[in-house]
């Protein structure tokens, strides 16, 4: 329970799969409560004793399946089973009794489905349970009419409108969230790739520094390899009796640094086991811009860049950065000069030695992607005067 609470409190740091697992765990706890409640409530329903025993047992079995799927990390399947359980419970409650609390379960079921935040699941299961709810009210509305109601028709209409309203409102909420988050996530993924490009360049410079200083590469250093081996064995001893089993993996990890890893991965003659390990280790190689290198660079940035925030800190569009026309033109000239004179590209040998040519800069300026940096007006001005840009900058 303490783990679940901790995970809820820190759920913004969990991956999508971990969050889904957490949600299934929470729903399962609630379903367990509803299954337990079905025992005392069986006194109020119209089912016979056999059904009142068999149905809760089936629900308990469904819950066990849900838990099993969670244990085997089949979280989506577990999610579907938890939804089947709550739908089953709702039908059991509303069909077996003519009590108002049974009707509340329609809302509980929709809440559970909403909780999973999957639009297809919501449209499918949520839509189905709403339709069922409406049909139930049309057919059995008279069983939940309050004594203060003015009549069956208005009572039934109120129930239907509120249930449909509840469904539609959350559908709208879904659509808003989906569009907002998809846009944000799209930008995040794109920026992640841009960051990787910066890190590619940083790593290339580091390699060149190392080469020019004739330094031994760290992953070739015996002491470093020994440190990694010893630390790995130390951790592994907490998981296995023979902690040293991991040593062979450490050796393989460093061996991969001397090979073309893609050759190993694509070589059909190499065993599937070796190739699988190579794929897993590829993310953590030290001689290419791997995930390990990206994490390390990002970690380093925690200790850098302490300049203060201003509202244009993340603005890279010259048209938005400057309001004055002269400033817009002057900044365009600086921008052009930077691209044409600073070394920003790889040469044909993979070294960072090349500048962009005037033609390449022009091609970039007119490209769609560059609207992120300059406006149409600026491009048109540039095209009208490009010979001056080329000659004097």
Partner 1 sequence: MKQETHKYQFPQLEIYKESLELTHLKRKTIIFNSLVFVLAGIVLYFLIQLGSNGETVITTMLMFIILFLVNIAFYSYEQDHYNNLKIAMYISTLGVYIIAISLILRFQTPSMFTSLFLTYAITSIYQDYKAMILSNSALFISGTLLILRFPSIFEIVGNAESQTFFILVFLIVFVILLSLSSYILIKRKTFFYNQLAQIKESEIRNMELLLEIEKIKTNKTLDSKEYYNSLKIFSKELSKKIGIENVFERKIELLKDLKKLEMSDILAKYTEYTLKEIDEIKYMELEIQKKMTMIGIKASKSQGIEVSRKEIFSESQFKSFKHFGDTQYVKIISFVVFYTLLKLDKPYLFELEEEKVKDVLLNSEYFYRIDRNIINIYLDNNDVFDTIVNDHMKGVR
Q: Where in 115-144 is the site for partner 1 (CB under 8 A)?
A: 115, 117, 142-144
Instruction: Please tell me the distance from the alpha carbon of residue 91 to that of residue 128, in angstroms, as a whole number.
Output: 12
From the centroid of its chain, how far is CA 339?
35
**Interaction residues for partner 1, span 59-118 (CB under 8 A):** 73, 98-101, 103-105, 107-108, 111-112, 114-115, 117
CA angle at residue 113 from 164 to 2, to 5 degrees?
Answer: 140
Task: Enter the tokens of residue 355.
Answer: 């500048």
Q: Which is nearer to partner 1, 50 or 387 (CB)?
A: 387
**Interaction residues for partner 1, span 270-289 (CB under 8 A):** 277, 280-281, 283-284, 286
Q: Answer for the pair 58, 81: CB distance below 8 angstroms, yes or no.
A: no
Binding to partner 1 by residue 33, rule CB under 8 A?
yes
Using the rule CB under 8 A, give the single segment among 18-26, 60-68, 76-84, 264-272 that binds partner 1: 18-26
Binding to partner 1 by residue 24, rule CB under 8 A?
no
Q: Fill in the DSSP letter of residue 316.
A: -
Q: Which of 61, 131, 162, 217 binds partner 1 (CB under 8 A)?
A: 162
Task: Enter the tokens of residue 224.
Answer: 């470093």
Binding to partner 1 by residue 358, rule CB under 8 A?
no
SS3 184: helix
**Interaction residues for partner 1, span 364-383 (CB under 8 A):** 364, 367, 369-370, 372-373
**Interaction residues for partner 1, span 287-346 (CB under 8 A):** 291-292, 294-306, 308-309, 311-314, 316, 318, 321-324, 326-327, 329-331, 333-335, 337-339, 342-345
Q: Which of 68, 72, 139, 173 binds partner 1 (CB under 8 A)?
A: 173
Q: Which of 2, 48, 49, 238 binds partner 1 (CB under 8 A)?
A: 238
CA angle at residue 321 from 320 to 327, to 5 degrees?
Answer: 105
Least distance to partner 1 from the beta carbon of 357, Å? 13
CA angle at residue 251 from 249 to 253, to 5 degrees?
Answer: 70
- Which residue in 144, 137, 139, 129 sits closest to 160, CA to CA? 137
Using the rule CB under 8 A, give the single segment among 33-41, 56-64, 77-85, 257-265 that binds partner 1: 33-41
Least distance to partner 1 from the beta carbon of 298, Å? 6
Least distance to partner 1 from the beta carbon of 165, Å? 5
Least distance to partner 1 from the beta carbon of 63, Å? 16
Least distance to partner 1 from the beta carbon of 2, Å? 13
Q: Answer for the pair 318, 311: CB distance below 8 angstroms, yes or no.
A: no
Q: Which is nearer to partner 1, 158 or 375 (CB)?
A: 158
Q: Answer for the pair 264, 255: CB distance below 8 angstroms, yes or no.
A: no
Q: Which is nearer to partner 1, 131 or 191 (CB)?
A: 191
Instruction: Please tell me the distance from the alpha carbon of residue 203 to that of residue 218, in angstroms, as a whole number.
Output: 14
**Interaction residues for partner 1, span 188-217 (CB under 8 A):** 188-195, 197-199, 201-202, 205-206, 208-209
Cβ burial, residue 303 (10 Å; 0-12/13-18/19+): exposed
Task: Enter the tokens of residue 24.
Answer: 């299934």
Least distance to partner 1 from the beta carbon of 87, Å? 15
Least distance to partner 1 from the beta carbon of 54, Å? 22
* Residue 346: strand pairing partners: 352
Q: Which is nearer to partner 1, 268 or 391 (CB)?
A: 391
Least distance to partner 1 from the beta carbon of 117, Å? 7
Using the rule CB under 8 A, give the single segment among 55-63, 122-130, 178-186, 261-269 that binds partner 1: 178-186
Instruction: Please tell me the distance from the alpha carbon of residue 355 to that of residue 352, in angstroms, as a whole number.
Output: 9
Least distance to partner 1 from the beta carbon of 263, Å? 20
Q: Answer for the pair 289, 282: CB distance below 8 angstroms, yes or no.
A: no
- Which residue in 134, 156, 133, 157 sits closest to 145, CA to CA? 156
Binding to partner 1 by residue 393, rule CB under 8 A?
yes
Instruction: Please tell me the distance from the alpha carbon of residue 336 to that of residue 235, in angstroms, as a whole number.
Output: 53
Q: Which is nearer to partner 1, 178 or 267 (CB)?
A: 178
- Which residue in 257, 248, 260 sits closest to 221, CA to CA? 257
Instruction: Please tell me the distance from the alpha carbon of residue 329 to that of residue 378, in angstroms, as a whole number.
Output: 7
């Amino acid at each position: 329970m303490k783990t679940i609470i901790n995970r809820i409190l820190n759920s913004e740091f969990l991956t999508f799969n971990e969050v889904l697992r957490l949600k299934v765990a929470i729903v399962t706890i609630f379903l367990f409560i509803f299954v337990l409640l079905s025992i005392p409530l069986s006194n109020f329903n119209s089912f016979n004793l056999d059904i009142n025993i068999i149905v809760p047992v089936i629900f308990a079995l469904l819950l066990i399946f849900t838990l099993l799927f969670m244990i085997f990390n089949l979280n989506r399947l577990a999610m579907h089973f938890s939804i089947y359980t709550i739908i089953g419970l709702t039908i059991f409650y509303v069909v077996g009794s003519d009590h108002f609390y049974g009707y509340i379960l329609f809302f509980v079921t929709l809440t559970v489905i909403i909780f999973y935040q999957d639009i297809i699941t919501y449209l499918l299961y949520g839509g189905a349970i709403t339709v069922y709810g409406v049909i139930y009210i049309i057919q059995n509305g008279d069983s939940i009419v309050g004594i203060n109601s003015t009549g069956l028709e208005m009572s039934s209409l109120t129930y239907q409108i509120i249930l449909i309203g509840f469904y539609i409102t959350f559908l709208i909420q879904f659509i808003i969230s989906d569009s907002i988050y998809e846009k944000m996530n799209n930008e995040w993924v794109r920026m992640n790739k841009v960051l990787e490009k910066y890190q590619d360049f940083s790593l290339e410079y580091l390699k060149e520094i190392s080469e020019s200083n004739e330094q031994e590469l760290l992953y070739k250093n015996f002491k470093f390899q020994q440190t990694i081996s010893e630390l790995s064995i130390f951790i592994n001893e907490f998981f296995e009796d023979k902690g040293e089993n991991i040593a062979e993996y450490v050796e393989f990890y460093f061996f991969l640094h001397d090979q073309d890893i893609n050759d190993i991965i694509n070589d059909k003659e190499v065993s599937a086991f070796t190739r699988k390990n190579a794929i897993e280790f590829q993310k953590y190689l030290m001689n290419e811009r791997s995930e390990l290198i990206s994490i390390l660079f990002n970690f380093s940035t925690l200790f850098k860049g302490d300049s203060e925030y201003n509202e244009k800190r993340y603005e890279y569009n010259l048209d938005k950065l400057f309001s004055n026309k002269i400033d817009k033109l002057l900044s365009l000239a600086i921008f052009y000069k930077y691209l044409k004179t600073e070394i920003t590209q790889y040469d044909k040998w993979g070294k960072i030695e090349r500048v962009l040519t005037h033609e390449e800069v022009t091609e970039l300026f007119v490209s769609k992607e560059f609207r992120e940096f300059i406006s149409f007006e600026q491009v048109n001005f540039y095209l009208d005067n490009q010979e001056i840009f080329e000659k004097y900058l």
